[in-house]
Amino acid sequence: MSISIEVTDNINKVIKSVNAERKKVEKAAVSALNKTALWLKTQAAKEVSKEKRIQLNLMRKRLRIFKARTSRLEVLIRANLYDIRASSIGSMRETKRGTKIGKHEFIGAFTATMPRRNSGVFRREGRTALPIQEVKLALEPEASRIIENLVNDEVEEVFKKFFEHELSYTTRNV
């Protein structure tokens, strides 16, 4: 999932209304876009990790920002929302019913160390010993909903706040 924030038309309106130099307004817009993207990354990571009950640093690693420049007035935020291996969530503990990792319990699962020394949480596909599947925690429907809500509801207001602040800063330092 990637989110693109673009503001080319709004910048031209501001330049005409403020009668400021184009380079200063573009510099303020780039700075405001980058700050808005960083804010969006922070908020999305917090809310998704809270919703899915996983560590915050796992979500931070999955959100990547491609910053804006004066030549390209848009920010791209790439979110990797594929499933997380259960073994990467935290320390694994086997119980009578299955395996517990952090606040998650996977019933019918077991921990094992593979021949290449990687350990994980697995579940049998049938009644026989093999084949087994690694247990994964799905992020997709909830995470994309949370990020879309942030983009639709709050990003524009946050960008306006950052843009006004940066514009007042650049015009003040003449």
Q: What is the pLDDT of residues 11-51, one digit of tens each?
A: 666 656 555 577 788 888 899 999 999 999 999 999 999 99
Query: Residue 112 pLDDT more than 90?
Result: no
Nearest to 67 by CA among 39, 38, 43, 40: 38
Say yes or no: 26 and 104 in one domain: no
Query: Residue 7 pLDDT more than 70?
Result: no
Residue 51 structural domain: 2-81+139-172
Query: Residue 104 pLDDT more than 70?
Result: yes
Say yes or no: 65 and 15 in one domain: yes
- Name the average pLDDT for the chain: 85
pLDDT band for 174, please (50, 70, 90 cuts): low
Say yes or no: 10 and 75 in one domain: yes
Say yes or no: 18 and 98 in one domain: no
Q: Which residues of 32-48 are buried (b: 16+ CB within 10 A; e: fewer)?
A: bbbbbbebbbebbbebb
Say yes or no: 74 and 158 in one domain: yes
| % of the chain surpassing 90 pLDDT | 25
Say yes or no: 75 and 96 in one domain: no
Q: How far is CA 164 from the centre of its chain?
A: 25
Say yes or no: 96 and 15 in one domain: no
Give pTM, 2 decimals: 0.78
Say yes or no: 8 and 59 in one domain: yes
What region, left, alpha or beta, does residue 19 occupy, with left being phi > 0 and alpha being psi -120 to 50 degrees? left
What region, left, alpha or beta, does residue 94 occupy, with left being phi > 0 and alpha being psi -120 to 50 degrees? beta
Overall number of domains in the chain? 2
Say yes or no: 76 and 45 in one domain: yes
